[in-house]
Amino acid sequence: MSELTQLTLAQARDAMAAGEFSAVELTDAYIAAMEAVRGLNCYLLETAGRARDMAAASDARRAKGDVGALEGVPLAVKDLFCTAGVPTTAGSHILDGFTPVYESTVTRNLWDAGAVMLGKTNLDEFAMGSSNMTSYFGPVTNPWQRRGDAAKLVPGGSSGGSAAAVAARAALAAIGTDTGGSIRQPGAFTGIVGMKPTYGRCSRWGVVAFASSLDQAGPMTHDVRDAAILLGAMAGHDARDSTSMDRAVPDFEAALSGDIRSLRIGIPRQYVMDGTPPEIDALWRQGIEWMRQAGATIVDIDLPHTKYALPTYYIVAPAEASSNLARYDGVRYGLRVAGDSIQEMYENTRGEGFGPEVKRRILIGAYVLSAGYYDAYYLKAQKVRTRIADDFHAAWEKVDTILTPTTPGPAFAQGEKMDDPIAMYLNDIFTVPASMAGLPAISVPAGLSAEGLPLGLHLIGRPFDEETLFRVAGVLEDAAGFDARPALMAKGA
């Protein structure tokens, strides 16, 4: 049984197609794995009974010749996606007792493709964080440890539970959401592939909103092929999300040709930053060399507004968050804390229901949107955002894909960087610019730090050209040959 949890999604799919094992057998192996790694706190809710029912239904469909793209594939779902009849928390106390009566479009697409839900994964509260430390339900432990040091490390965030579940082999693959790096940074911290598609590729309907002009769902997987397969099932136009694009969803897996000889890879000068550890720069240089050896043309490019992306993000995202989170008022769903007046009830509910980081961002957002400050902060940030996007538009004249590091360092210990919000925000310095411009991007595990922790390289693509992005990522993955495994992993039943 234990071998079943060591497969990739593609391998499991092909083995089930060949009749080597059933969806029920595969699901049972993952249910055992979920139980084995409970100490990591990566699942907020295990839905084993539902998973077995879904797996049995999948086997029945297969017996009739009805086989979807993800038929019988057991997946973990970030607990930001509303799942009908299954409690959804967003990692927050304020959604206490909330059980959606509807299914998010992305998860609906997964189940329609035959996938099996294993459970809902832990996350930073309302996806606000880069460590999973802000979850109301406690931190997630990264399955990786520093060499000779059992200190508990963060898995990154906000999709930390999804990342840890995949890395610990307690899910065949997972879905996450990415606002400023919330799929890619935890992907890098846990040695898995994390991919954010172009804004508009996946429907946001039924996903608890953080910053609506930035939020995108994406796959978190063992390898690039799995990410291509999973995104293919997640993506597509949805009439219920006016920002989802009505474009054909290509066969992303077919794009993995392994040939990047005709491509130009951009290396942005501005991503060389003071204080970046030498091992990050070294890995980046190695990545450039791998691209060159694969026959791609390396082109130095300028993205002059790179350093302004993160401060821009910390105006735009909190502004949108303060607006989106106004809906949590103790009236229609979730927590209610009594008060003598309706005003007091609102204030008590929100004061008790939101954690410190969420409150901090609501306050920043309310401030930058308030009369007298709107132009100086919010309007200014939206103008800088235009300039950041223009930098990329200019770059696409010269290159097809951009290569950068994913993070400025490996996973850090639980509790580190907690007293300095800006130090925590700097985790997303390499991932935020692509978010601000709505571009697809992917983190591929590419090497180990001196302490034996995974490091990722990051590729950014043209809008709606995920195919080229996957193609380059596949070549990068092959060249890196990353095969290290974390210390804490489900060994299976």
Partner 1 sequence: MPLDRENVRAIAQLARLKMPEALLDSLAGELNKILGWVEQLGEVDTDGVAPMTSVVAATLKQRADIVDDGDMVEDVLANAPEETRNFFVVPKVIE
What residues numbered 56-115 form the site for partner 1, per CB under 8 A? 97-99, 101-102
What is the CA 440 to chain-centroid distance, rounded? 12
Say how many C-beta atoms besides its own lie within 10 A of residue 22's C-beta: 17
Among 11, 22, 243, 270, binds partner 1 (CB under 8 A): 243
Instruction: Say which of 92, 159, 182, 443 is annotated catalytic.
Output: 182
b/e code 158-172 from CB counts within 10 Å (16+ = b): bbbbbbbbbbbbbbb
At CA 367, angle to CA 182 and CA 206, rounded to 5? 40
* Cβ closest to partner 1, residue 3 vs residue 246: 246
Active site residue 182: yes
CB 411 within 8 A of CB 146: no
Q: What is the dihedral of CA 275, 276, 279, 284, to 10 degrees?
A: -150
* Cβ closest to partner 1, residue 211 vs residue 294: 211
Among 312, 407, 414, 449, binds partner 1 (CB under 8 A): 312
Site for partner 1 in 338-377 (CB under 8 A): 338-348, 350-352, 354, 359-360, 362-367, 370, 377
Site for partner 1 in 370-399 (CB under 8 A): 370, 377, 379-387, 389
Rounded least distance, CB 346 to partner 1, Å: 4
* Cβ closest to partner 1, residue 101 vs residue 248: 101
* Cβ closest to partner 1, residue 199 vs residue 210: 199
Instruction: Say which of 135, 158, 203, 244 is annotated catalytic.
Output: 158
Residue 431 sits in the site that holds partner 1 (CB under 8 A): no
C-alpha to C-alpha distance for 83 and 118, rounded to whole angstroms: 12
* Cβ closest to partner 1, residue 194 vs residue 318: 318
Among 68, 311, 452, 492, binds partner 1 (CB under 8 A): 311
* Cβ closest to partner 1, residue 130 vs residue 162: 130
Given the rule CB under 8 A, which of 57-65, 291-299, 433-441, 483-491 is the region that contacts partner 1? 433-441
Q: Where are the alpha helices (DSSP H) in 370-465?
A: 380-395, 421-425, 432-436
Among 331, 394, 450, 487, binds partner 1 (CB under 8 A): 331
Spatial neighbors of 232 by CB under 8 A, at least 6 apart, are 69, 249, 250, 251, 252, 253
Instruction: Say which of 78, 120, 196, 417 is annotated catalytic.
Output: 78
In the shown chain, the binding pattern of residues 144 to 183 toward partner 1, with x for contact by CB under 8 A and - for none, equals ----------------------------------------
Q: How far is CA 320 from CA 69, 242, 377, 480, in A?
A: 35, 17, 13, 38
Residue 452 sits in the site that holds partner 1 (CB under 8 A): no
E strand or H helix at 301, and its extent? strand 297-301
Of 30, 32, 10, 12, residue with least CA distance to 21: 12
Report strand pairing: 264-268 vs 216-221: unpaired
Report whether the peptide linkage leading into residue 323 is cis, meaning its omega lies within 30 degrees of zero: no
Active site residue 158: yes
C-alpha to C-alpha distance for 54 and 111, rounded to whole angstroms: 9
CB 134 within 8 A of CB 140: no
At CA 485, angle to CA 157 and CA 453, rounded to 5? 55
Residue 315 sits in the site that holds partner 1 (CB under 8 A): yes
Residue 332 sits in the site that holds partner 1 (CB under 8 A): yes
Q: What do you get for the CA distance between the two ends of the chain, in Å?
A: 6
Rounded least distance, CB 201 to partner 1, Å: 9
Q: Which residues pair with 193 in a beta bridge?
A: 221
Residue 421 sits in the site that holds partner 1 (CB under 8 A): yes
Among 41, 322, 324, 431, binds partner 1 (CB under 8 A): 322
Among 19, 49, 242, 278, binds partner 1 (CB under 8 A): 242
Handedness of CA 480, 485, 487, 489 (dihedral sign): positive
Rounded least distance, CB 317 to partner 1, Å: 12
Residue 463 sits in the site that holds partner 1 (CB under 8 A): yes
Among 3, 18, 246, 261, binds partner 1 (CB under 8 A): 246
Q: How far is CA 348 from CA 38, 353, 355, 390, in A?
A: 33, 8, 13, 44
Site for partner 1 in 13-42 (CB under 8 A): none
Among 52, 67, 288, 308, binds partner 1 (CB under 8 A): 308
CB 157 within 8 A of CB 182: yes
Of 173, 153, 191, residue with least CA distance to 74: 173
Rounded least distance, CB 334 to partner 1, Å: 7
In the shown chain, the binding pattern of residues 181 to 210 toward partner 1, with x for contact by CB under 8 A and - for none, equals -----------------xxx----------
State the angle between helix axes of 105-112 and 224-234 in degrees (0 to 180), rounded to the nearest 10: 110
Rounded least distance, CB 208 to partner 1, Å: 13
* Cβ closest to partner 1, residue 188 vs residue 384: 384
Among 438, 445, 461, 486, binds partner 1 (CB under 8 A): 438
What residues are labeled active site?
78, 158, 182
